Amino acid sequence: MRANRRVDTRPERLLRSALHARGMRFRKDLRVDLEGLRVRVDVAFPATAVAVFVDGCFWHCCPAHGTWPSVNGQYWSDKLRRNVERDRRVAEALTSAGWDVIRVWEHEPPDEAAGRIERLVELSRRATPPC
């Protein structure tokens, strides 16, 4: 499992490229310290408190493309279940801290995902009062 990258995966790079082409600027792999929890956000818009996570279909149990390994099934089912539970905990903690969380599956076309993200960032920008 060492070959599996934590950052800069192909889906992340494609999404960041699509966001950048739309003129959006962001932070990648931003660490957010919350009460009792440290979170690494794949793509973050700190000014508007929007956190984007790019989830792999296998690792995060995509309902459309997720698969279950046939070898060592108990280990993998526990591991994947913990991943999904961690995703839920992280999203709840970020939401409680005032962040908007959006999850993008690796199979989503980057331009469509970038459009969803752009709309959310714009809504958050309008909701944030100017200083």
Could you write out the DSSP letters of every residue in 4-51? Answer: S-SSS-HHHHHHHHHHHHTT---EEEEEEEETTEEEEEEEEETTTTEE
Domain assignment present for residue 108? The answer is yes
Number of domains, the chain: 1
Residue 44: give the domain boundaries: 10-127
CATH number at residue 73: 3.40.960.10
Say what the pLDDT of residue 125 is. 85
Q: Please list the pLDDT of the chain residue by residue as tens digits (131 residues).
A: 566 777 889 999 999 999 999 999 999 999 999 988 999 999 999 999 999 999 999 999 999 888 888 899 899 999 999 999 999 999 999 999 999 999 999 999 999 999 999 999 999 888 766 55
Say what the pLDDT of residue 73 is. 87
Domain assignment present for residue 3? The answer is no
Identify the three-state secondary structure at position 109.
coil
H-assigned helices in the chain: 10-21, 73-96, 110-127
Domain assignment present for residue 4? The answer is no
